[in-house]
Structure 1
Amino acid sequence: MIQKDKKFVPVMLMPFQEDGSIDYNTLDNLVDFYLEAGAGGLFANCLSSEMYQLSQEERLESVSFIVKKVNGRVPIVATGTFEDTIENQAEFVKAMYATGVDAVIVITGLLAKEDDSEETFRANVEKLLALTDDVPLGFYECPVPYKRVLSADFLGQLVKTGRIKYHKDTSLDINSVRAKIVATKDDESFGLYDAYMAHAVETLKAGSAGLSCIQGNYFPEMVVWLCDNFDNLEKKDEVDQVQQFLIDNMDVMHDTYPVSAKYVLQKRGIAIGTFSRTPSKLPDENAKKQLDILLEDYQVLSEKIGVLAS
């Protein structure tokens, strides 16, 4: 499912109506927004989708909706493990795969407790693989409930099984990313996608399959542009400006996320509400002012690099 060209895979937002129910009309439009921006795949039912605030039925229903809407145009991955026994997690992995996704994502921090040993974690991973038949899988070092980072050697072993197609890296460590890329380089069907945009260009140059970051829920066109141009020597100055923009605005894009991303998309003309089932809220007018400045700065940058911004 992974192509050789660098791809941006959005961690999809979940739009809600004011009564808290999923807004499927807006979700339909949001899929179009990502694809028209040039996304090379979609990560559904993820932390940005408020997956922990969804019921099992909502998780399956929303992913099925996205799969039907996309209709094979790009690959789709979706989380399929939540806090439960390994046996029950395996059953839900199979149920998620039945929605038609290309691979089911496993949350590393849900396969062992934070104080469990690496040996316990690895044993539970092997058990999950054994219980999920031939379902293609991926890993996500999700920061909630805690972040368990895969070692390069273990990821390399797993990829050699032929079952592992995707890895979302949140190690925040470029040396760790490089080691994982080296350990998995022999399997062209596997792709590592980095979430940490402070070293986005370094990650792409190191050989990652692409990027999968929350910044793409503000400005997906910019992340696609970076994937397309990171090694273009004629555009080195513009690439450096984009990388610096990502570094300079790391905090403002994280502070009240995902509500902040929904707010910016509203300002960009996307009909999405800012309701969230998470505790994330826009706390005051100052936060909105900072996001307005972010959008203005992006619009200036987009003109410089030749990306059409609405």
Structure 2
Amino acid sequence: MQTKIDGIIPVMITPFTPDNKIDWKGYEALIEWYIDNGSEALFAVCQSSEMQHLSLDERRDLARFTVERVAGRIPVVASGHVSDTRAGQREELAAVAGTGIDGLVLVTNRLASLDEGTETFRARVEDLLTALPSDLPLGLYECPAPFRRLLSDAEVAYCAGSGRFTFLKDVTCDLEIVKRRLEITRGTPLGINNANAAIAWPAMQAGASGFCGVMSNFHPDLYRWLQDHGAEHPDLAEELATFLVLAAMCEPMGYPKLAKRYHLRLGTFASDHSRTISFDIEDRYWALDAILDRIHQGSQRFRSRIAELVLRQG
């Protein structure tokens, strides 16, 4: 039986030491923070993990470490799919697949370019399938870097019908496309997991399987409450959804270093060093710390309101 991979799935960041090595102690603390805050699965070795700036050994070791520390409490999926060549992709995917993960995620822009169609996409998927364990569930990720290649309806239908794919991190940022994909995949193993905070709540209401966006590095528990209990409390759900959308407006302000700065303030780990973002984000984005203050304060207020609601319901 395939492991079910859906719900609130943080895209994991990678803490580094000031001398540019992976901070394993900090990463372990981060794993516990995700789990303690309602995550239902973890997506390791993704763009938020700075996978384009990790060696193959680091990508493999991150996936294995995540599996070992999670120890079966929730599913772990991972990608690390960054190479341009067919041989490179086979090597990196096989390495990550062998770490004990519950699902391996293929990046759509590695499977076909913007001007290549479904025939090329299918041929490359089928080629990779021959190099991967036949019993390993697979996912798809419309990663924005180095370019965003969205799946066509025919490609979504092909992957859904294959029975091999259980997870799509949808980066269309378009509610109507999400709804159309939900219809295409109905009755298949492929779940559509939206990554855009602006449409998170309406996508959940339409039937999307959770949330897999960068703001799950700030308050995954609030997305979890919205998913699990929002329909029972529509007024509070609308207020919370509005806060989550506005909080997500900070995403372009030097992410993933932005999320690392947030966790530095929480005490999760000790450095906001990033291989992707080399500049001082506070210098470039004025009053950034004040913005992070407000995000934290707003998150705490909603947590308090939810706790009070639970107490009233007895």
Q: Same fold judged by TM-score > 0.5? A: yes
Deviation at 1:116, TM superposition (A): 2.9
> Of residues 252, 260, 267 in structure 2, which corresponds to 1:262?
260
Q: C-alpha separation between the residues in 2 aligned to 1:119 and 1:221? A: 41
What residue identity is the alignment partner of 2:246?
D
Q: C-alpha separation between the residues in 2 aligned to 1:207 and 1:165? A: 15
Query: Quick check: 1:81–1:90 contact (8 Å CA) kept in 2?
Result: no
Q: Which residue of 2 aligns with 1:147?
A: 148
Q: Which residue of 1 aligns with 2:294?
A: 293
Q: Which residue of 2 aligns with 1:47?
A: 47
Q: Which residue of 2 aligns with 1:279?
A: 277
SS at match of 1:222: helix
Deviation at 1:255, TM superposition (A): 1.6
Residues 202, 304 of structure 1: CA spacing in aligned structure 2 closer, same or farther, 3 A cutoff?
A: same
Q: Which residue of 2 aligns with 1:31?
A: 31
Q: C-alpha separation between the residues in 2 aligned to 1:63 and 1:133? A: 16
SS at match of 1:74: coil
Query: Quick check: 1:86–1:111 contact (8 Å CA) kept in 2?
Result: no
Q: Which consecutive residues of structure 2, in runs of 5 or more, have no partner in the other structure?
A: 310-314
Deviation at 1:58, TM superposition (A): 0.3
TM-score by length of 1: 0.91
Q: Which residue of 1 aligns with 2:208?
A: 208
Q: Which residue of 2 aligns with 1:21?
A: 21
Q: Calculate the aligned-residue CA RMSD, in Å.
A: 2.0
What residue identity is the alignment partner of 1:248?
L
Residues 138, 215 of structure 1: CA spacing in aligned structure 2 closer, same or farther, 3 A cutoff?
A: same
> How is 1:114-193 mapped onto 2 (pairs within 5 angstroms)?
114-134=114-134, 135-187=136-188, 189-193=189-193
1:82-117, CA deviations, whole angstroms, 9 ceiling, x for partnerless residues? 123224312322221110011111110112233334
Deviation at 1:299, TM superposition (A): 2.1
1:239-288, CA deviations, whole angstroms, 9 ceiling, x for partnerless residues? 10111012222221332211111222232332342111112542325222
What residue identity is the alignment partner of 1:278?
T
SS at match of 1:168: strand
1:145-171, CA deviations, whole angstroms, 9 ceiling, x for partnerless residues? 100111233212212211112110000
Query: Quick check: 2:230–2:236 contact (8 Å CA) kept in 1?
Result: no
Q: Does 1:10 align with 2:20?
A: no
Q: C-alpha separation between the residues in 2 aligned to 1:43 and 1:164? A: 15
1:43-90, CA deviations, whole angstroms, 9 ceiling, x for partnerless residues? 000111111110000000111111111111111110042123224312
Number of residues of Structure 1 aligned to a counterpart in Structure 2: 303
Q: Which consecutive residues of structure 1, in runs of 5 or more, have no partner in the other structure?
A: none
TM-score by length of 2: 0.90
Q: Which residue of 1 aligns with 2:238?
A: 240
Q: C-alpha separation between the residues in 2 aligned to 1:111 and 1:158? A: 13
% identity of equivalent residues: 33
What residue identity is the alignment partner of 1:283?
E
Query: Quick check: 1:262–1:272 contact (8 Å CA) kept in 2?
Result: no
What residue identity is the alignment partner of 1:48?
S
Q: C-alpha separation between the residues in 2 aligned to 1:15 and 1:201? A: 29
